[in-house]
Amino acid sequence: MTETAADTLPSSGADDAPEDVVEVDDLRMRYGSTDVLTGVGFTARRGEVLALLGPNGAGKTTTIEILEGFRARSSGTVRVLGTDPISGGEAWRSRVGIVLQSWRDHGRWRVRQLLEHLARFYVPYGDPERDRPRETGALLEAVGLAEQAEHRIQTLSGGQRRRLDVAIGILGRPELLFLDEPTAGFDPEARRDFHDLVHRLADEEETTILLTTHDLDEAEKLADRILILAGGGIVADGSAEQLAQRVESNSEVKWTRGGQRFVHSAPDGTAFVRELFEQYGTEVSDLEVRRATLEDVYMDLVHRHESGQAEGAAAAAAEFAEGER
Ligand code: ADP
């Protein structure tokens, strides 16, 4: 990523756009006699980065495909950029960017050539700030592929190909971008660059980004809000920090006393440590306090769901969401 890359991403002037870019209420999906989604609800605001997490088979792909307009739902309300995706026309589609799995065709094409070719398919829709495809040179800079501009696509590494996928996804300056497992197979540096790009798209262009990932660390680093889908509904919705506070024993305290190592899970780590020192003072050594992580929350919720406590988890999530808004 170069110093000048930010210049290529001017901010949007779409002030008259609706506040909620995505609105989902009581979304239900049934395949045959199997209910996969039984009342999904959430909203995404302009410029927000949301990560949708959940175990395999939870219905993430189904939800995303419904939002993208590729799948008809059984029932419920869905609005994406103010439109029901199932009836979204070409102009609506040009405001939405989708990064699917890697671009496998056109292996003999050169990177720049493909982007220039795709830019010709751009459909104008009337927003003066966004109503033109990105200039290819600037786009190559933004995704860190400037040096590979004249390379054939089949010679790119996995990470470079993924960046090309993203370049294709953001070519039309979408207001909403769907990213499916965006950094699978990236090396750490490519991942960091990619995270920078996502943050710039969200912060400088107010692009709303909805990503799915299996990588909790990535979700924590990238997302303003994390949605956990389990048991047919959203069982948690909040920042990683807000979610971590939901784990009952959200701090793990470890210490040594009298040559023995102790571990204790406490709802309030600070209060527990204070008590510990009041009671044992200088006998306590090697103190470690670990706050609950997103992984703890995720495992807790998914486990609660799997052991038949989904209703409790959903009720807790609703209560939590109520308290946070
Ligand atoms: P995820 O992306 O969270 O892994 P999916 O949305 O792919 O979940 O799938 C959710 C459930 O719906 C799975 O049990 C899957 O087998 C089922 N499913 C997905 N698509 C179809 C389909 N077209 N017909 C029938 N069942 C489907």
Tell me the per-residue pLDDT of 239-276, one tens digit each, with 9 for 90 and over: 988 887 776 667 889 999 999 999 998 888 889 999 99
Do 277 and 175 lie in a common domain? no
Q: Which amino acid makes up residue 63?
A: T
Kindly report the backbone phi and psi dihedral angles of residue 314, in degrees, each rounded to the nearest multiple of 5, phi listed first. Answer: -65, -40
E strands, the chain, are: 20-31, 34-45, 49-53, 75-80, 96-99, 176-180, 208-212, 225-230, 233-238, 251-257, 260-266, 285-291
Do 152 and 259 lie in a common domain? no
Name the residue with the closest Cα to ligand 1, atom 23. Answer: 31
Q: What is the number of structural domains in the chain?
A: 2
Name the residue with the closest Cα to ligand 1, atom 13. Answer: 57
Do 171 and 113 lie in a common domain? yes
User: What is the whole-number distance in angstroms between the Cα of residue 57 and the centre of ligand 1?
Assistant: 6
* Residue 133 maps to a domain: yes
* Residue 104 maps to a domain: yes
Three-state DSSP state, 209: strand
**Ligand 1: nearest atom to the Cα of 62:** 6
Q: Any idea what the CATH number is for the domain that residue 100 is in?
A: 3.40.50.300
Distance CA 310, CA 300 (A): 11
* Residue 40 maps to a domain: yes
Final residue belonging to a domain, choices 224, 240, 256: 240
Inter-residue contact 132 to 89 (CB < 8 Å): no
H-type helices in 8-110, by residue range? 60-68, 90-93
Q: What is the tally of helices (H) and strands (E) in the chain?
A: 11, 12
Q: Please determine, for residue 201, whether its predicted confidence score (pLDDT) is greater than 80.
A: yes
User: What is the whole-number distance in angstroms between the Cα of residue 62 and the centre of ligand 1?
Assistant: 6
Residue 12 carries which DSSP code?
P
Do 234 and 281 lie in a common domain? no
pLDDT at residue 294, as a whole number: 84
Do 232 and 256 lie in a common domain? no
Q: Please determine, for residue 311, whether its predicted confidence score (pLDDT) is greater than 80.
A: no
* Residue 26 maps to a domain: yes
For 299, the domain range is: 247-308
Name the residue with the closest Cα to ligand 1, atom 15. Answer: 57
Final residue belonging to a domain, choices 225, 240, 255: 240
User: What is the whole-number distance in angstroms between the Cα of residue 231 and the centre of ligand 1?
Assistant: 13
Do 156 and 252 lie in a common domain? no
- In which element (H, E) is residue 247 found? none
> What is the value of pTM for the model shown?
0.80
Residue whose token pair is 């786009």:
139
Do 185 and 253 lie in a common domain? no
Residue list, ligand 1 pocket, CB within 6 Å? 31, 36, 54, 56-62
Do 206 and 290 lie in a common domain? no
* Residue 279 maps to a domain: yes
Do 15 and 143 lie in a common domain? yes
Distance CA 172, CA 160 (A): 20
Do 123 and 268 lie in a common domain? no
Name the residue with the closest Cα to ligand 1, atom 25. Answer: 31
Mean pLDDT of the chain: 85
Mutate to test the pocket of ligand 1, among 27, 28, 36 (most ligand atoms within 8 A of CB): 36
Do 191 and 276 lie in a common domain? no
Kindly report the backbone phi and psi dihedral angles of residue 83, in degrees, each rounded to the nearest multiple of 5, phi listed first. Answer: -125, 145
Name the residue with the closest Cα to ligand 1, atom 26. Answer: 31
| Residue 321 binned pLDDT confidence (cut-offs 50, 70, 90) | low
Do 235 and 303 lie in a common domain? no
Rg (CA), the chain: 23
